Structure 1
Amino acid sequence: MANEPRDPVPPRQQKVQSAEVGTGVLKALAELAPSTSLSNLAEHLGMPAAKVHRYLQALIASGFAEQDPLTNHYGLGREALWVGLAALGRLDVLKVATPHLVALRKALNETCFLAVWGNKGPTVVYVEQSIGEVTLVTRVGSVLPLLGSSTGLVFDAFLPEAETAGLRQQEQALNPQALDGDALQRQRTRIRSDGLQQIHGLLLPGVNAVSAPLFATGEQLAGVITVVGTASVFTGARQDEAARHLGETARSISTRMAGVQPG
């Protein structure tokens, strides 16, 4: 009958629906990382801003979101980072690479890190920090440029064109000095041939780096490992030595990765 009232939604179903919406807001924060305004987030979700705001307050209270007091923009909170790290801990490449990076850092006393390909590009998932008077801070969760870092250039050389094209076009539009066309293709060919990429002050002035690819079964790129150091000491013969150690480490990890069964 037309005027017959609808059955109320059971409390348990209400909780499920609420959890689904909250998860959607959390995913949207990840997609719009590192931060976004309330209006932009609401538009992205196709939801009223007032409703999104209520869920944001709940996420902030639980530590899964945070608000910048200067910009009032929202981003992922510390608890979301821990959940992400727990998920990353299940990655075979992280499990396999970690002890090798520990040994590499001890051998070179330079900062070493592992990056994997994320939805925003090359993303740092593990760091072994150098010990000494001068250290280079590379954070877990940092997203590196594709064409403006040695790590990114290795991803560009070994990933399928379809995966990198969008990010590469964005960076080239923002930086006209970025390599393009034939020059970029020659660099890819050289990186594939050498199995390494060395740079001097590309991402940061005074910072040099060398990167190498990691492969899983079927020669599928699983990640990139990088050693970074200050140009005052990490140069010349020392950087060449680091490149040799890095190449050996990358081959050891890739050999081990080839024997890891997915699942």
Structure 2
Amino acid sequence: MHDDLEGKHGVQSLEVGMSLLKAMVTGQQAMMLKDIAAAADMPASKAHRYLVSLIRSGLVEQDPLSSRYTLGPFALNLGLVALGRLDRVRLGLSAIADLRDAINETTALAVWGGQGPVIVRWERPRRPITVNVITGATLSLLASAAGRVFAAWLPPAQIEPLVQAELDSGKCRANVQTLDEARAVLAEVRARGLAAISGHYMVRGVEAMAAPVFNFKQDITLGLVVVGVEGSLDMREDGPTVTALREAAHALSLRLGYAPPAA
């Protein structure tokens, strides 16, 4: 009977130990015993007993000099295995479908293709006039929202030669003439946290927004894109479309292991 109940209801002591681990993950740094106990809402003496067992398992380790506790090598291994099994594109496809449902606009998922971002999938909204998105083609770095997002967060040494080549081609419709002007545009994208283009998009009559998705290495790994007919897309900073795009990109980043920098 006892085993049957445990199978249905779980093991309470394991759940208590997990609450301590969650508190340490949320703290994002090595923590003192009293802080871990307070975050897990339990007496310090009880927390200490569980931490001893967690240290023995390799999930936690304690710095002998500072007495602070942090995640141990086995916890790090678990995290790396979990991250390795995540399919970022699969999660991204789910994210753009949910975003389309939330804002009823065309949404798309972009990945880096070496010379620029590439759209791998797009979702059609429920409205009579929509914008079709071409999949598989490399997008402009300056005249597309996805391009600006990747160019803003990828290393300058990797990006600037590609930006210069785009400027030299004379085919850029982004109203940017020099590398210094491009740097200023990308700095503005980073400051705002997303890219928005209206009037100088790579296709006439279309405007778009894109937000970066980061991975556990704090690197940009995907771009979430919203595309609409020029003049019809709500691009207000505090509007529901921009807000939903920001929230979707942030949620997906967290799902991929991104840890936002401390304020």
Using the size of structure 2 for normalisation, the TM-score is 0.59
Distance (whole Å) between structure 1 residues aligned to residue 143 and residue 242 of structure 2 = 19
Q: Give 1 or 2 for the bigger CA radius of gyration.
A: 2
Distance (whole Å) between structure 2 residues aligned to residue 131 and residue 106 of structure 1 = 9
Q: What's 1:107 paired with?
A: 102
* Aligned with residue 152 of structure 2, among 147, 153, 157: 157
Q: What's 2:111 paired with?
A: 116
Q: What's 2:227 paired with?
A: 228
Question: SS where residue 172 of structure 1 aligns?
Answer: helix
AA aligned opposite 1:97? G
Alignment gaps of 5+ in structure 1? 1-89
Q: What's 1:242 paired with?
A: 241
Q: What's the CA shift for 1:237?
A: 4.6
Question: SS where residue 101 of structure 1 aligns?
Answer: helix
Question: SS where residue 224 of structure 1 aligns?
Answer: strand
Q: What's 2:214 paired with?
A: 215
Identity within the alignment, %: 32
Q: What's 2:178 paired with?
A: 180
Distance (whole Å) between structure 2 residues aligned to residue 251 and residue 124 of structure 1 = 19
Distance (whole Å) between structure 2 residues aligned to residue 252 and residue 179 of structure 1 = 35
AA aligned opposite 2:124? Q
AA aligned opposite 1:155? F
Q: Could you list the per-position Cα deviations for residues 139-173 of structure 1 after superposition, in whole angstroms to 9, with x for gaps in the alignment?
A: 22121101111110111100012322332122100
Using the size of structure 1 for normalisation, the TM-score is 0.59
Distance (whole Å) between structure 2 residues aligned to residue 180 and residue 130 of structure 1 = 37
AA aligned opposite 2:100? R
Q: What's the CA shift for 1:239?
A: 9.1
Question: SS where residue 95 of structure 2 aligns?
Answer: helix
Distance (whole Å) between structure 2 residues aligned to residue 113 and residue 160 of structure 1 = 24
Distance (whole Å) between structure 1 residues aligned to residue 127 and residue 111 of structure 2 = 27
Q: Quick one: structure 1 residues 160 and 238, their matched pair in 2 at CA, closer, same or farther if it must change by over 3 Å?
A: closer
Q: What's 2:195 paired with?
A: 197
Question: SS where residue 125 of structure 1 aligns?
Answer: strand
Question: SS where residue 218 of structure 1 aligns?
Answer: coil
Residues 147 and 179 in structure 1, CA contact (< 8 A), matched pair in contact too: no
Q: What's 2:257 paired with?
A: 258
Question: SS where residue 214 of structure 2 aligns?
Answer: strand
TM-align CA RMSD: 2.4
Distance (whole Å) between structure 1 residues aligned to residue 96 and residue 206 of structure 2 = 19
